[in-house]
Structure 1
Amino acid sequence: MEALAQRLSHLDSEAGGALRVVMYFDTLIRRRVDLPALARASAALAECVAGIRLHGTGRVIRVGPDGRPAPTPPAPASTSTPITLDEEEIGTVWLERPTPPGPLDELLLDRLALGAAAVLERYGPASTTMADPALIELVISPGTDDAARTRALRLLGFPADLPLRAIAVRSPRPLDRIGGLICPAHPVKAAPLAEAGVILAPTVDPARFPDGTRAGIGAADRPDRSWQQARTALRFTTDRQPVVHHDDLGALALLAHIPQEALRDNKDVTAIDRLATAGDDLDTLDAYCATGSVRQAADTLHLHHSSVARRLTQIGRTLGIELTEPAGLTRARLALTAWRLRGG
């Protein structure tokens, strides 16, 4: 392999050199080399530092042409190419050539990126898999004893001591696809339950949930407790806030424990019922409660602030609440949240 690399470093024909570069990386992939070996071979071929970075884990491999780890700090990349897998960018490969890029550098990096993607697909973390719902239920059920939960976690492929977050999901998208998006760097298990889909993952990136998805995220605690938190957080989701982390609810989470009959009997909650039948009033109140400002609510609704102010005056009369007062705004927020928790 070293002899081949030496010959390829003195190419006399760009076309012939391109073919040899392709054959070189095809040989590496057939030999099922790992990422460090792939980086070493690339650095030897390019006769400069080659690097691989994985976005999900932050792992960086930099190798010099002598096959040893490259010194730090790194030099600026002379050429770089993204690593893509299943149409998603998962990392980057690059060369640190002190001279201008060579005629075959782009091709070399293209083949290095393809090789890295093949390695990650073969040896990297397993993608999200749909698990046996019975095993998932054993893990998240509060009635499961520790021995049974540990066994279920082991059968799912999770170490018993690995902190897991439970996520309660309602979405038209497949659960395995959502799991792969929110936790691309670690194994994820998912299963549909009667009330919501459940995803178990070591880490969660809330910004990566796809559009049209509602999700409640539990804390990284015992899976059964995390699932209870996730279900509670899911109840607080709205169109404007489709993803809710239980930790962010604070004292608001206490509202989820109020009996349904108490919510039905509360006059502020029943007043929201009347408001829900009055055109855009509910959306106006929601925007105002979310922002706490007439002007910001107007921006959200794409209306003039005077129009929103008139609507809020009428809404306040319907509710019997002075919305411009801090206490009135707090009361309206609680009433609107309780109305949603009741099933409104």
Structure 2
Amino acid sequence: MKDLAVRLAALDADAGAAVRVIAYFDSLAEAGAGLQSIVRGAAVLAGCPARLDDTARRVHIRVLPDGVTSPSPSAPDDRWPSHDAGSATLRLERSGAAGPVDAMVLERAAGAARTVLDRTRGRAPAADETALVELVVDDDAPADARLRAARHLGLPADAPAFVLVLHSGGVRVKAAPTDPGAHQGGGEAVPQRPGGTPPERAGVGLAVSVLELPVSCRAARVALRFSAAGTDEDPGERVVHFSALGALAALAAVPEPGSVPDVRVLEHAAAGAPWLLPTLHAVATTISLRAAAGRLRLHHSTLQDRVAHAEHLLGWSVRDPHGLLRTQLALTLRRLHHNPPAY
């Protein structure tokens, strides 16, 4: 830390940027981010393509500055700024010496990458369950390494499994139910809390083959964005299955859901009416106002008054089919706005 402080002092105007770099990669490490997320962070922060190459471990990851993964088009250039990450090398694809912020990006990203590589791709089989899970959901890991990790986790290579991503950052891999009539995975795997309190928020991925678990993991992360705290301030389901989202999953691709006009109107109205969000959620997810009143434990006439007030605040009806759909979309986009995608 003393050496780091000295370098920060020498950065002058770049000191703030360097602190943000440190905080960014520290947060990735705390969240148990994989190699692709680390390289993506380096590319986005440096504003140029970044690549991690480890020939011995057959790891080659390249990410463009917009965060999109791209294959390596050519051999690395010796003139590019680089930093060793154990047996791997992290590079920024631009010529010339690394500036102070680039140097900090390389150092922190390489250190994070080395930790992940040593934990998930060491010469001996990983004994830590967290490391095994990281490996089995990593697209960039060799297939034989993922199959070996799956065996250590007790997952048969020829049976379906699914990924569960917790709001706290944890990732779990579970065997899918063998009963074709059972709900596709998830509910029984979500950690239950003592005293009858609700389970931890989670997203449940698709049931897939072991080698397709990275796909299930991405689906689980999308599903997690649709989950809610289940409170008046954030009403909604705490556990969301990707398979149940259907076409709604496409809404996760909306780049800035908070900028949608209906979401802005909803946020403004809810700020002055604490009852608004739970009321709209109940109306949008039940078959009738009477059923919604029962869920909210309100008299039917009280709910009717609330709905009329809500319509006045929003500027549209929430009772006709078009207005109800508009309300459902606004609530969903608001939830996505408050649960941005994590790298």
Q: TM-score, normalised by structure 1?
A: 0.51
- Check if 1:216 corresponds to 2:180: no
Given the alignment, which residue of 156, 169, 182 partners 1:196? 169
Task: Identify which of 141, 146, 154 aligns with 2:143.
Answer: 146
Once the two structures are superposed, residues 208-247 of structure 1 have per-residue CA deviations (whole angstroms, 9 ceiling, x without a partner) of 7422321221111121111111111122123242222111
Match among 283, 287, 291 for residue 288 of structure 1:
283
Hey, what does 1:317 align to over in structure 2? 312
Deviations 1:84-121 (A, max 9, x none): xxxxxxxxxxxxxxxxxxxxxxxxxxxxxxxxxxxxxx
Instruction: Tell me if 1:243 matches 2:239.
Output: yes
Task: Note if 1:234 corresponds to 2:230.
Answer: no
Matched to 2:280, the amino acid is L
- State the Cα distance separating 1:151 from its structure 2 match: 2.5
Structure 1 residue identity aligned to 2:148: R
Inter-CA distance 137–255: structure 2 relative to 1 (3 Å threshold): same
1:55-87 deviation per Cα after TM superposition (whole angstroms, max 9, x unaligned): xxxxxxxxxxxxxxxxxxxxxxxxxxxxxxxxx
The amino acid that maps onto 1:135 is L
CA distance in 2, matches of 1:139, 1:294: 46
Q: One-letter code of the match for 1:220?
A: A
CA distance in 1, matches of 2:277, 2:213: 36
Whether the 8 Å CA contact 1:275–1:282 is kept in 2: the answer is: no
Residue pair 2:311, 2:318 contacting (<8 A) in 1 also:
yes
Q: What is the correspondence of 1:322-337 to structure 2 with a 5 Å cutoff?
A: 322-337=317-332
- Of 292, 298, 301, which aligns to 2:296? 301
SS in structure 2 of the partner of residue 254 of structure 1: helix
What is the SS of the residue equivalent to 1:321? coil
8 Å Cα contact 2:174/2:189 also seen in 1: no
Q: CA deviation at 1:339?
A: 0.3
Classify the secondary structure of the residue corresponding to 2:285.
helix
What does the per-residue CA deviation read over 1:169-219, in whole Å, with 9 as the maximum and x for residues that have no partner?
23xxxxxxxxxxxxxxxxxxxxxxxx6211111133626742232122111
Shift of 1:292: 4.2
Once residues 207 and 289 of structure 1 are traced to their aligned partners in structure 2, the CA distance between those partners, rounded to angstroms, is 27
**Are 1:169 and 1:214, in contact at CA under 8 Å, matched by a contact in 2?**
yes
Structure with bigger strand share is 1
SS of structure 1 residue aligned to 2:318: coil
Q: Quote the residue 2:270 is aligned against.
A: 276
Equivalent residue number for residue 91 of structure 1: none
The structure with the larger Rg is 1
Alignment match of 2:187 (pick from 194, 206, 219): 206
- Does the 8 Å contact 2:161/2:174 carry over to 1? yes
Q: Is the 8 A contact 1:298 1:308 kept in 2?
A: yes
**Using the alignment, how far apart are the partners of 2:326 and 2:137 within structure 1?**
35
Letter in 2 for 1:206: G
Conserved? CA contact 1:131–1:156, under 8 Å: no
Superposition TM-score, scaled by structure 2 size: 0.51
Structural mapping, 1:25-36, within 5 Å: none
Q: 1:212 to 1:131 in 2, by over 3 A?
A: same
**Could you list the per-position Cα deviations for residues 23-56 of structure 1 after superposition, in whole angstroms to 9, with x for gaps in the alignment?**
xxxxxxxxxxxxxxxxxxxxxxxxxxxxxxxxxx
Structure 2: gaps (5+ residues):
1-126, 177-184, 193-197, 231-235
Residue number in structure 1 paired with 2:30: none
Report the RMSD for the aligned CA atoms in angstroms.
Answer: 2.1
Q: Secondary structure at the match of 2:243?
A: helix
Letter in structure 1 aligned against 2:276: D
1:253 corresponds in structure 2 to: 249
Distance 2:145 2:270 in 1: 47
Q: How many residues align?
A: 189
Separation (CA, whole Å) in 1 of partners of 2:304 and 2:139: 48
C-alpha contact (below 8 Å) 2:132/2:149 kept by paired residues: yes
Q: Secondary structure at the match of 1:241?
A: coil
4+ residue stretches of structure 1 with deviation over 3 A?
none
The CA distance in 1 between the partners of 2:242 and 2:129, in whole Å, is 26
Aligned-pair identity (%): 38
